[in-house]
Copies of this chain bind each other. A is one copy, B any other.
């Protein structure tokens, strides 16, 4: 398998031909098209949108609206006012936990998350449950790391107000049955919140078809800029949700004693919006669409299949999570007695970038019975040679530690 995009699209990668970047689940490298789009906005149409009464500002406003359209299209959202630009997945999920949670979760209610959540989809729910006096329940996982929907279906009750779960686990690459979980949530009138940070970058997402109430993602993991993300929600939910932040652009009328709110998407976007970020994310969406999200998913599946086979063939290696056919391009593993941090440092010596640690998923680490794993993750610019180098480097690390 060669990469499905030219390495030369990515300045950093083409400037470092020997670099084996296997940490895209943490953050993805940027194609020139994304940086160009942002620069072009700053150099051609830059002004504060919404507020100015001159053509330059109208152009900036237009850019922002076009970006929202492109992002809505990418995420399969027909009602584009339901695409809210945020700072990232963490921001999106905190908005829902705080604004929706405070208004809808009461004492004795129940909030459910899975045991495989990233801290961003775990701690906000844990904390709002504590604040509201609600019960915080952690849904157990299947052996391969997905939410156990049978247990979940038995767990829920009329008291359940929220089920928060990942689309794809950032540690295991395990893909959750989103529609099934959403249906369970719906059956008891609970809000279904899908953390799409590892979903949107790697597979076609149609929000309208997934039937979840809330979907969140980060631009920087899908070839877009840092500091931008989306919160997508069904209109009834977002319309009824109290604003999370207040300030400019999101108000209708500010009285000395009371304030009324603007309509969606504005009422959930207080302050000067990050138009450049939205433009960058839209460019990333367009770039991915041009490749085709099915091609992206197939490429990653092919790479992770080879990696899974070759890495698990090394003696002493334990690969966590589902079989290669059922995972997105993420491979977490541990190698005998070698601590993942040492592994990462040894691989770094060979210009191979992997991540080591708890991956912001300490609850999952406890459930896997480890304190840390090593993780290699693949994206559009990776190829089979990257896998080859990973495997060689792991073998070499084993030799070094064994000799000692």
Q: Which residues of A contact B (CB under 8 A)?
A: 11-12, 15, 19, 21, 23, 26-27, 29-30, 35, 39, 42-44, 46-48, 51-57, 87-91, 93-94, 98, 118-120, 122-124, 126-127, 130, 136, 138, 218, 220, 225-228, 244-249, 251, 253-259, 270-277, 340-341, 344-345, 347-348, 352-357, 359-360, 362-363, 366
Contact = CB atoms under 8 A, between A and B. Distances in A.
Chain A to chain B: the 5 pairs with minimum beta-carbon distance, closest first: A90-B271, A227-B274, A53-B344, A120-B247, A123-B246
**Interface SS, A side:** mixed
Given A43-B15, A123-B251, A88 B272 contact: yes
Contact of A126 (B23, B227, B259): B259
Task: State the oligomeric state as a number of copies.
Answer: 2
Contacts of A15: 43-44
Nearest to A229: B271
A362 B253 contact: yes
Nearest to A27: B48
Contacts of A88: 271-272
Contact of A353 (B19, B39, B47): B47
11 contacts: A12-B42, A26-B52, A29-B46, A48-B220, A53-B355, A56-B353, A90-B245, A90-B247, A94-B245, A227-B227, A248-B360
Contact of A35 (B39, B138, B347, B360): B39
Given A11-B43, A12-B46, A271 B355 contact: no
Contacts of A12: 42-44, 46
Given A19-B56, A53-B357, A274 B119 contact: no
